[in-house]
Amino acid sequence: MLEFNFHPFPIIETDRLILRRVTNNDVNEIFELRSNPETMKFIPRPLAKSNEDVLELIAQIEDKIVTNTGINWAITLKDSPKLLGIIGFYRTQHENYRSEIGYILNPKFHGLGIISEAVNRLITYGFNDLKLHSIEAIIDPENFASEKVLQKCGFVKEAHLKECVFYEGKFLDSVIYSLLNK
């Protein structure tokens, strides 16, 4: 069975990015992301209403790292420690060697290939370091930008689930993309 160990915390570099641990110092940047209806449009989670909401989220992220059940990174540019987004492995099916990748990015940085660069690096980390067999991404079928990123990174559409998520009084579709470790 798959087991993770995130101690010491893995800081990951790409050509332009440093993926580092999320801390309470990131509260303002995360609030900006999680309170923005545009950024959260395709993420069925309540909008952050206060810094307390965000500190709770940061505590949840930290708890998953400490318990080795999941991991998120702050996405930053090499020349600045400021958080631009968050990326990580969520719901892991340890018995199936499969984990879900998810990400969110400040809209000011959309279209620059930042998420593709981070996803590609985490694919390598997921397969080589975490020993995953497959990585999935679950997206809203209307989230064409995310779909494009996933296709660019080699993911293939595995399923379109009809009205499988009940959120705020509505049933929403989900599309599952996946990538196998070849």
Confidence of residue 181 (pLDDT cuts 50, 70, 90): very high
Tokens matching residue 47: 């909008």
- 2 located within any domain: no
- 61 located within any domain: yes
The predicted pLDDT at position 48 comes to 97
DSSP 8-class letter at 136 = E
Range of the domain at 126: 12-180
For the segment 61-87, the average pLDDT, to the nearest whole number, is 97
Radius of gyration of the chain (CA): 16
- 5 located within any domain: no
pLDDT at 69 > cutoff 90: yes
d(CA 92, CA 94): 6
- 24 located within any domain: yes
Total domains present in the chain: 1
Q: Convert the pLDDT of each residue in 3-44 to its tens digit.
A: 999 999 999 999 999 999 999 999 999 999 999 999 999 999
In three-state secondary structure terms, 40 is coil
- 4 located within any domain: no
- 161 located within any domain: yes
- Cα dihedral 2, 57, 167, 146, rounded to 10, equals -70
Q: Count of residues for the chain?
A: 182
Q: Convert the pLDDT of each residue in 51-60 to its tens digit.
A: 999 999 999 9
Confidence of residue 182 (pLDDT cuts 50, 70, 90): confident
The predicted pLDDT at position 112 comes to 97
Q: What CATH number did the domain enclosing 80 receive?
A: 3.40.630.30
From residue 144, give the alpha-carbon distance in Å to each of 64, 85, 149: 29, 18, 9
The counts of H helices and E strands in the chain are: 4, 8
CB atoms within 10 A of CB 33: 21
H or E element in which residue 127 lies? none
- 6 located within any domain: no
Residue type, 168: E
The predicted pLDDT at position 103 comes to 98
Q: Convert the pLDDT of each residue in 111-167 to its tens digit.
A: 999 999 999 999 999 999 999 999 999 999 999 999 999 999 999 999 999 999 999
